[in-house]
């Protein structure tokens, strides 16, 4: 695996950003997209329909998006993970400490709920008390899945020789990595 200071040659053109809920996948993906001059597509917006339903054309839309020569997106949703990996050249793994990820997720969830932030296709975060009643509540899901990437990404790196994996363990490393991408493309 590569780190924040390793040179990516050739420069990345099809990038996935992986990590547990709350680590900043979407924000980092947007920044990488700007740095390399590629479009960013947020998979959550392609997946979640009104009322948190799954959009029926999700797989087809991901197939179309990843057919482009350049793109940046998040590595999530089991049904398209393999397609994403097959077409990506770089995976950036945000492996922040568990307490950092949880605090960020908690803050984001509370902020979105209190402000009734409209997310994808008219959806808003459910009431905070549903943490206790819904197993799929984002905070419960984040806690349950917090170790999944630490098991999945090293196996992926070993089994997928065409995919460069960049392992970033802190916000400082994320800043250095994105800054180096921006410098390289200017």
Inform me whether the pLDDT recorded for 150 exceeds 60: yes
Residues near 41 by Cβ (< 8 Å), separated by ≥ 6? 65, 71, 72, 73
Q: Is 135 part of any domain?
A: no
The mean pLDDT value of the chain amounts to: 92
Share of the chain above pLDDT 90, in %: 73
| Residue 139 resides in a domain | no
pLDDT of residue 136: 80
Q: Is 55 exposed, middle or buried (0-12, 13-18, 19+ CB in 10 A)?
A: middle
Q: Is residue 27 part of a domain?
A: yes
48 found inside a domain: yes
3-57 pLDDT per residue, tens: 999 999 999 999 999 999 889 999 999 999 999 999 999 999 999 999 989 999 9
Domains contained in the chain, number: 1
64 within domain boundaries? yes
Domain harbouring 62, CATH code? 3.40.50.300
Other C-beta atoms lying within 10 Å of the C-beta of residue 168: 24
Output the pLDDT for position 185.
Answer: 53
Q: What is the pLDDT of residues 88-146, one digit of tens each?
A: 999 999 999 999 999 998 999 999 899 998 988 888 888 888 888 888 878 888 888 88
Alpha carbons within 13 angstroms on the beta-carbon side of residue 111 total: 8
pLDDT at 186: 55
The pairing of strands 90-94 and 40-41 is unpaired
Query: Does 153 have pLDDT greater than 90?
Result: yes
Lowest mean pLDDT among 59-68, 98-107, 163-172: 98-107
Answer whether residue 132 is part of any domain. Answer: no
The token pair that represents 36 in the structure block: 């390399």
Domain region containing 87: 14-97+148-185
């Amino acid at each position: 695996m590569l780190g924040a200071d390793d040179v990516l040659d050739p420069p990345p053109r099809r990038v996935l950003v992986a990590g547990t809920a709350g680590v900043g996948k979407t924000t980092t993906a947007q920044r990488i997209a700007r740095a390399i001059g590629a479009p960013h597509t947020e998979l959550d917006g392609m997946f979640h329909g009104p009322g948190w339903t799954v959009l029926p054309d999700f797989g087809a839309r991901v197939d179309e998006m990843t057919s482009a020569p350049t793109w940046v997106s998040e590595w999530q949703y089991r049904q398209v993970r393999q397609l994403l990996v097959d077409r990506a050249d770089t995976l950036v793994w945000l492996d922040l400490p568990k307490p950092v990820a949880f605090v960020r997720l908690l803050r984001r969830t509370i902020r979105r709920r209190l402000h009734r932030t409209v997310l994808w296709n008219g959806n808003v975060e459910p009431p905070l008390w549903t943490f206790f009643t819904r197993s799929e509540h984002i905070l419960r899901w984040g806690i349950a899945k917090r170790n999944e990437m630490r098991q999945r990404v090293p196996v992926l790196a070993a089994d997928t020789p065409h995919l460069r994996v960049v392992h970033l363990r802190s916000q400082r490393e994320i800043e250095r990595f994105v800054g180096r991408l921006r410098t390289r493309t200017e």
